[in-house]
Amino acid sequence: MSIPVWQREVELAVPGSGGSPSVPSRITESELVAAFSDEGCHWEVIEYGRLADQRTLQTSPTEEVRVSFTFIDRESYDAPPGDDWILSNVNVWGLSHRECPEQDRNLPDDGYGV
């Protein structure tokens, strides 16, 4: 699952509410590191040699789950680098998966091949 947050707000789907409220998504690296530290969460910083304007904080809330928080060094592409890294994207993935169940050929095609 990937959540792009670079547009400065995220719409949350609220079942049964008939709406999708938006919440601010501007988070800096120092704010996230402070929150991680307050909770005793461990993380590692991943830097990319060819992408000097991007870096990632990666954590593992459980043994089989990874979460990466990708930061960029500026507010927009044509802005100069800022004083702190700004959250751009959040990715969540699992390392172990159950086998997929056999497809039920009696169900109509959902357009995604499932």
Strand partners, 86: 28, 72
Identify whether 55 is part of a domain.
Answer: yes
| Residue 112 resides in a domain | no
Name which of 95, 99, 98 is nearest 62 in CA terms: 95
Convert 57-95 to b/e letters by CB count within 10 Å (16 or more is b). beeeeeeeeebbbbbbbeeeeeeeeeeebbbbbbeeeee
Listed in order, strand segments (DSSP E) in 1-114 are: 2-4, 9-11, 22-24, 43-48, 51-62, 65-72, 86-94
Looking at the domain assignment, is residue 39 inside a domain? yes
Range of the domain at 41: 2-6+26-94
Q: How far apart are CA 112 and CA 114, in angstroms?
A: 6
Within-domain flag for 17: no
- pLDDT tens across 29-76, in order? 998 899 888 888 889 999 988 888 899 999 988 888 899 999 998 877
- What's the distance, CA 93 to chain centroid? 10
- Averaged pLDDT score across all residues of the chain: 81
Count of domains for the chain: 1
Residues 80-86 have a mean pLDDT of 89
What is the pLDDT, as a whole number, of residue 17? 62
Whether residue 105 is contained in a domain is answered as no
Structural domain contains residue 69 = yes
Each residue's pLDDT tens digit, 5-32:
766 777 666 666 666 667 677 888 998 8
* Mean pLDDT within 80-105: 83
> What spatial distance separates the first Cα and last Cα of the chain, rounded to whole Å?
18
pLDDT of residue 40: 87
Is this structure's pTM higher than 0.85?
no
109 compared with 31, residue with greater pLDDT: 31
Q: Which residue has the higher pLDDT, 112 or 109?
A: 109
Are the C-beta atoms of 66 and 92 separated by less than 8 Å? yes
Angstrom distance (rounded) from CA 30 to CA 7: 19
